[in-house]
Structure 1
């Protein structure tokens, strides 16, 4: 079984309102890449992945005049891939949905939102004191995690959760003080989302349910200076500790190596500094029982993965398709 997570930058821009692909020479959401080239690149990447299920972060918009599932299934047909059915959960207003493309011959999948003590449904509100003022704040997800009940062809049942945590960027800040204030506030909200998500994970682990968390956590060990203010990254909160800890080898490596080389899953152009920033943002975390299955994790990084590097067409496609690279897990289920 191969599962993957893939953040596709502004995928919604590749589709008309009726879900048809805009396979033309107009600009895409990728800087300097036209739509037909991004579509061709994505086809190349998905064909190479050949995954049974792909958690898509920043999937096409779902709304009154937009159908994310129809758009994704149109893309799958165009690309000729096995993962040809799509499912989403709670739609959001960011034009960036969380969705799963999957092979219906291998997996049976349904949206199955949960409520547990201390962890309300993900389209609701989470009460937590963010600033230690003895007053509960109300936290929401701008992109509610996607909760899926999954059964394999062989009868194995498990949970998949797709996540895209809120960015910590201080959008709109004009002064240094505003940057500081907004960055700290955003960090608090993101950590609250991580606590909420971890509470759901803990409930499933207490029930003995095999679980896989996939997605872009927009955070990682040592990613910014505000982590030192709060002590832990949201990645550490979501993973948990001890016997109930989720496992992802890249996250573990990052946590153990705050300095020196570490895995990266995204590459962004920093205009003021005229350079690229690479970061570890995308994860596939598995429950302790599944960690015993000796899975194989892979970051499809065009510059770091030898198999990607020696295939020029795939290497270039990975660069054109998105500012993130897929992460895959091969595991026996």
Structure 2
């Protein structure tokens, strides 16, 4: 079984209001890339991955202009993908949904949100936490509620899957550098609160001995920026480890133990003022210990770091064209 997570930058702009893929010569939301070029590149990438299930981060919007599931299923039909069924959870208002595209011949997947408690509400609710140690509880919500799924393979193995896209730290609307810093710190507090909320749900699964896969874009990584020194831990560290035990992702583990030297990366962004690319580790597939024992093997489909991706010229160019993130896959014997 191959599972994947893939953040497709502004996937929603490739579809019309009837949820049909619209691969024409107009510009996509990616810089200097047309809709046709991005769509064709995505088709190449999805076929090459040949995953049984892909957690799509920034899936097509479901806010009224179009619908996520029909759009993804039309995309799959257009390129003849075996991952032809889609499922999503709670809708959000960011135009970037979280959805799973999967092969119905290999598995079934259904939205299965856990009921909330007073301390740990459902992901479409409100989480109360003291963000700044002032003895006052703050109310936190997910801009993109995580997608909780119950998955059963055709071999009869059942496990839980949580797809997540934690809030960005970008200080949008800043009036000056001081205001930008204030907004960035506030956004970081909210992001860490979301990580604590997600971790509380993970602890519940671990306590119940439930096989679990947590995957997606955490918009954070160990040592990624100066805020880690201010708050002590990254979102990744919070999500990976907690009272009930640890999850495992080899790329995150390597980054956490490497103070100097290269670490894996899953995203590549153009920094216009500096005229260079910034690479970062943002996308993860974390699993419980029982799943790790089932021959788990990870791969980042980075066109510049993975020799097989580099050697395949069509795939190499498609990975760069399709998104500013690269897919992460994991193979499991389930």
Q: TM-score range by the shorter chain?
A: over 0.9
Query: For residue 3 of structure 1, what is the aligned residue in structure 2?
Result: 3
Contact 1:116 1:203 in 2 (8 A): no
Moved runs in structure 1, 4+ residues, more than 2 A?
A: 115-118
The corresponding residue for 2:100 is 100
Map of 1:66-85 to 2, 5 A cutoff? 66-85=66-85
Distance 1:128 1:241, change over 3 A: closer
Shift of 1:123: 0.6
Corresponding pairs, count: 333
Q: Is the contact made by 1:243 and 1:288 (CA closer than 8 Å) also made in structure 2?
A: no
Residue in 1 that maps onto 2:23: 23
- Higher mean displacement: 212-221 or 115-124: 115-124
Structure-2 residue corresponding to 1:35: 35
Q: Which consecutive residues of structure 1, in runs of 5 or more, have no partner in the other structure?
A: none
Query: Which residue in 2 is equivalent to 1:135?
Result: 136
CA displacement 1:203-247 (0-9 Å, x = unmatched): 011001000011000000011101101100000000015871000
Separation in 2, partners of 1:69, 1:84:
10
Deviates more, 1:211-220 or 1:178-187: 178-187
Structure 1 residues 162-191: Cα deviation after superposition (integer angstroms, max 9, x where no partner) = 000000111111322112111111110000
SS at match of 1:193: helix
TM-score of the superposition, structure 2-length normalised?
0.98
- Cα distance between partner residues in 2 of 1:260 and 1:146: 34
The match for 1:109 is 109
What CA distance in whole angstroms lies between the structure 2 residues aligned with 1:169 and 1:204?
Answer: 31
170-179 or 151-160, which moves further after superposition?
Answer: 170-179
Contact 2:206 2:244 in 1 (8 A): no
1:275 aligns with 2:285: no
Are 1:152 and 2:166 matched, yes or no?
no
3-state SS, counterpart of residue 323 of structure 1: coil
The two structures, once aligned, show a CA RMSD in angstroms of: 1.0
Mark the CA change 1:200 to 1:242 in structure 2 (over 3 Å): closer, same or farther.
closer
1:116 to partner: Cα distance: 4.4
The 2-side partners of 1:221 and 1:5 are apart by: 19
CA distance in 1, matches of 2:137, 2:296: 41
- List aligned pairs for 1:251-330, cutoff 5 A: 251-330=252-331
Q: Which residue of structure 2 aligns with residue 208 of structure 1? A: 209
1:14 aligns with 2:17: no
